[in-house]
Amino acid sequence: MHKGYLCLVLHGHLPFVRHPEYEDFLEEDWLYEAITETYVPLIAVFERLVADRVDFRITMTLSPTLISMLSDQLLQERYLKHINKLIELAHKEKERTRWQPGFQDLPSMYLNEFLSARDTFLRYSCNLALAFKKFQDLGKLEIITCGATHGYLPLMDTCKESVRAQVKVAVSHYESIFERKPRGIWLPECGYHPGHDTILKEARLSYFFTDSHGVLHGNPRPKYGVFAPVYCKGSGVACLARDLESSKQVWSSIEGYPGDYSYREFYRDIGFDLEYDYIKPYIHPDGIRINTGIKYFRITGTGNHKEPYIPRLARDKAAEHAGNFIFNRQKQAGYLYDFLGKKPVIVSPYDAELFGHWWYEGPLWLEFLIRKIHFDQDELKLITVPEYLSENPRNQVITPSMSSWGWKGYSEMWLQGPNDWIYRHLHNASNKMTELAKTYPRVNGLTGRALNQALRELLLAQSSDWAFILGTGTHTDYAIRRTKDHLLRFSRLYDEIKQGSIDEGRLSEIEYKDNIFPGIDYSVHQ
């Protein structure tokens, strides 16, 4: 008997990294790796499920920065170049490893993956956003939006105009890509601040997610814990909270799946392991060794000794882990059903890039999970939030608590020694942007262009990714650079607009560099 619902949420996001001014830019690889290792494998899973007529529901964020990069022609061309090189390398690897015991099938496995990545990429006219759109149009995927540039909203609360701009720019960008309005939003870093739900309501968003304590510490106490939606007091926007039990199974060090010894070892990449002259054409032109994505070993154990990866074993494990996940969710749902007297909804959100990039077998696990849910049992059902809400329209009204899914559950990841300096600059720019939008209502022409670009620069500076990287304390140069570049470009535009002396040449240059959100309207920043 059907006893409860599982709402799987994959949060897909990468910061906007696009440097037309360089031939090769290391950080652009974040996108290329995620395409090959995460987005294409997920699309392949969805394609196989649809082909086999397996009904499923997945909720997926595609952040506006990610969509913008997926739809960008320059990055598309560069990805093709990137994947072609990987294909060349995989061919060489097939030959090189011919005598190595245990390695025989691995280069072919990668070669096939790279070839199918290229094939998938080309089949969707080099724009994978269209692939995800297809599955949304088929009713299988519920694509939700996110902050325009993934700005961490709780630390923007003193500049609500910026919160509004993050939300509204995202919503209109979504509409221009998916030809419908988004119904839900993934608040960047799951960062909720009471009151921001009214801004979501203005943008006609009907639901968002928080971490467990966002609802559990809500006021008044939520009767169904995290296992039913609540409506935010004042706005009526629905809020659903993460179930940590199911999160834990996927990424905890004690109980999590991805660390299983049969799974592929993330840290042994031939970009670091192989002889320098041989690998040089496939790493960074400056000679910096980087991950290529070709990794031959399984986790093996706790030591440094690693055994070759055996795909068949890993596949069996992924199937077993999917079965285990379902078994536990069935127990959980059955227990909650009796306990609550209604069908619970278990919300399990994950970073999409966990699947494939970090946890190589993740997409396979997801496929097994969905197939098993469809074919092997009838206690659990996959569901989207709008479906659940139309079945259960009556829910408790509470004020969720400020929270995030980051380290320690609040704002510390983005507000600590190494990154707190950014807020005085970000807030100053936000206030100046508000002033500009007020002083120059409905301006077109050159000034209008400068105002729109000013908002682009502000939004780009606000990406939580820069604060996050600064907070981790390693390889921070790029994050500092991006924060400074966008803020400096913003202040210069501000001064030029105020002085009425806009340098068109320079404006065109930064419009070309930071070309995100072509349809942006600066007047949303109010």
Token pair in block for residue 177 = 């890509």
CA distances from 332 to 247, 325, 338 (A): 13, 10, 10
Give me the residue label for tokens 């009713």. 139
- Classified as helix, coil or strand, 52 is coil
Which of 229, 233, 241 lies closest to 392, judged by CA?
229
- Look at the block and give the residue holding tokens 């059903």: 337
Q: Does 508 bind another protein (CB under 8 A)?
A: no
Q: Is 51 in the site for another protein (CB under 8 A)?
A: no
What burial letters (b/e) apply to 174-206, b meaning 16+ CB within 10 Å? Answer: beebbeeebbbbbbbbbbbbbebbebbeebebb
Phi–psi pair at 358, nearest 5 degrees: -85, -50
- Point out which span in 43-51, 123-131, 461-469, 502-510 binds another protein (CB under 8 A): 461-469
Among 175, 245, 387, 511, binds another protein (CB under 8 A): 245
Contact characters 300-319, another protein, x per CB under 8 A: -xxxx------------x--
119 catalytic residue (yes or no) = no
Provide, rounded to whole angstroms, the least separation between the CB of residue 448 and another protein: 25
Given candidates 175, 201, 423, 513, which one binds another protein under the rule CB under 8 A? 423
**CA distances (Å), 109 to each of 134, 375, 506, in order?**
27, 28, 48
Q: Indicate the residue among 171 and 459 with the shorter CB distance to another protein.
A: 459
Contact pattern from residue 388 through residue 417 relative to another protein, giving x for each residue in contact according to CB under 8 A and a dash for the rest: --------x----xxx-xxxxxxxxx-x--
- CA-CA distance, 247 to 26, in Å (whole number)? 31
Is 478 a binding residue for another protein by CB under 8 A? The answer is yes
87 lies in the binding site for another protein (CB under 8 A): no
Report how many residues bind another protein under the rule CB under 8 A: 125
Q: Which of 63, 68, 235, 247 touches another protein by CB under 8 A? A: 247
254 binds another protein (CB under 8 A): yes
Residue 189 annotated in active site? yes
CA distances from 282 to 91, 96, 395 (A): 13, 15, 55
Asked whether the beta carbons of 149 and 468 are under 8 A apart, the reply is no
Pattern 318-337, another protein, x by CB under 8 A: --xx-xx--xxx-xx--xx-
Asked if 20 is part of the footprint of another protein (rule: CB under 8 A), the reply reads no
Interface residue with another protein, options 69, 487, 502, 507 (CB under 8 A):
487
Contact between 27 and another protein (CB under 8 A)? yes
Residues in the chain: 526
Does the footprint of another protein cover residue 108 (CB under 8 A)?
no
Distance CA 138, CA 47 (A): 11
Give the number of C-alpha atoms closer than 13 A to the C-alpha of residue 331, restricted to the C-beta side: 8
Residue 463 engages another protein in binding (rule: CB under 8 A): no
CB of 254 to another protein, least distance (A): 7
Residue of 189, 211, 353, 361 with catalytic role: 189
Distance (Å, rounded) from C-alpha 511 to C-alpha 138?
36
Q: Give the residue, chosen from 225, 308, 386, 448, that forms a contact with another protein under the rule CB under 8 A.
A: 225
Maximal C-alpha separation, the chain:
72
- Is 112 a binding residue for another protein by CB under 8 A? The answer is no
Min dist CB 407 to another protein, Å, is 4
For another protein, the binding residues in 342-371 under the rule CB under 8 A are 351, 353-354, 357-358
Please return the burial class of 393, using the count of CB atoms within 10 Å of its CB with bins 0-12, 13-18 and 19+.
exposed
Catalytic pick among 88, 157, 351, 387: 351
Quick one: 100 or 508, whose CB is closer to another protein? 100
Q: Which of residues 257-286 bind another protein (CB under 8 A)?
A: 257-262, 265-267, 275, 278, 286
Catalytic residue IDs:
189, 351
